[in-house]
């Protein structure tokens, strides 16, 4: 599809979707956010699609935000945007979600099962993307954590509504407040 996400259509209506920013452990920069949103939109219109498998190439599923790319208000292509690298956070350009939320929540909007296969790390935004899948397979050595509080952020990529059916609220809060893996 592009230099951040690939889609391979396998037999029997299976789409193999991979994040391919291997040099940064598939960390989220403006181009990665856009590529994931574009991928979800493309999959919405794919005829004969029966299942999506989401994974990351290289050493990790997704290391979360690439903080070095988030320092300015640049979209990655020189365009200035409100709300930093993910655009205007108040604008709901994807129904009930902004761009950052859509790359996690959008997988739930697909009308087919989404299976995430994680290895290496799934930190912060990567953990929220992983949480958007219907089914998650996680290698036993994978490190997962809600890392946002470490930088004074909240897990605002749809984490809380995605986690609610998976863990008690007090457990979610404890993991969010402590960054515990």
Q: What is the CATH number of the domain that holds 133?
A: 3.90.226.10
Q: Determine the Cα–Cα distance for residues 52 and 126; give it in Å rounded to an integer.
A: 17
Prediction pTM value = 0.84
Supply the pLDDT for residue 83: 40
> Binning pLDDT at 50, 70 and 90, where does residue 24 land?
very high
User: Which residues, 6 or more positions from 30, have their beta carbon under 8 angstroms from its beta carbon?
Assistant: 69, 74, 75, 76, 77, 85, 86
> Binning pLDDT at 50, 70 and 90, where does residue 97 land?
confident
Supply the pLDDT for residue 170: 86
* Beta strand pairing call for 51-56 and 5-9: unpaired
> Binning pLDDT at 50, 70 and 90, where does residue 173 land?
confident
**pLDDT tens, 106-140?**
999 999 999 999 999 999 899 989 999 999 999 99
* Stretch 16-23: mean pLDDT: 96
- Residue ranges making up the domain that contains 99: 5-178
- Nearest partner of 1 among 32, 35, 24, 26, judged by Cα: 35
- Nearest partner of 113 among 14, 5, 46, judged by Cα: 14
- Residue 88, Cα to own-chain centre: how many angstroms? 18
Supply the pLDDT for residue 74: 45
* Stretch 40-68: mean pLDDT: 94
With 70 as the cut, is the pLDDT of residue 86 above it?
Answer: no
* Stretch 18-46: mean pLDDT: 94
Q: What percentage of the chain reaches a pLDDT higher than 70?
A: 84
Supply the pLDDT for residue 87: 56
Indicate the number of domains in the chain.
Answer: 1
User: Which residues, 6 or more positions from 83, have their beta carbon under 8 angstroms from its beta carbon?
Assistant: 73, 89, 90
With 50 as the cut, is the pLDDT of residue 82 above it?
Answer: no
């Amino acid at each position: 599809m592009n230099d951040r996400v690939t889609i391979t259509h396998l037999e029997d209506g299976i789409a193999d979707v991979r994040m391919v920013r291997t040099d940064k452990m598939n960390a989220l920069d403006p181009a990665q956010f856009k590529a994931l949103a574009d991928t979800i939109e493309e999959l919405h219109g794919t005829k004969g699609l029966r299942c999506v498998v989401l994974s990351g190439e290289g050493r990790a599923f997704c290391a979360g935000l690439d903080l070095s790319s988030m320092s300015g208000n640049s979209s990655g292509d020189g365009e200035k945007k409100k709300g930093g690298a993910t655009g205007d956070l108040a604008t709901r350009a994807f129904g009930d979600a902004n761009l950052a939320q859509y790359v996690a929540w959008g997988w739930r909007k697909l009308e087919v099962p989404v299976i995430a296969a994680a290895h290496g790390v799934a930190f912060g935004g990567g953990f929220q993307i992983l949480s958007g899948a219907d089914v998650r397979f996680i290698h036993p050595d994978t490190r997962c954590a809600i890392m946002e509080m470490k930088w004074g952020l909240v897990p605002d990529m749809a984490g809380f509504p995605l986690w609610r059916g998976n863990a008690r609220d007090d457990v979610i809060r404890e993991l969010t407040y402590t960054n515990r893996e």
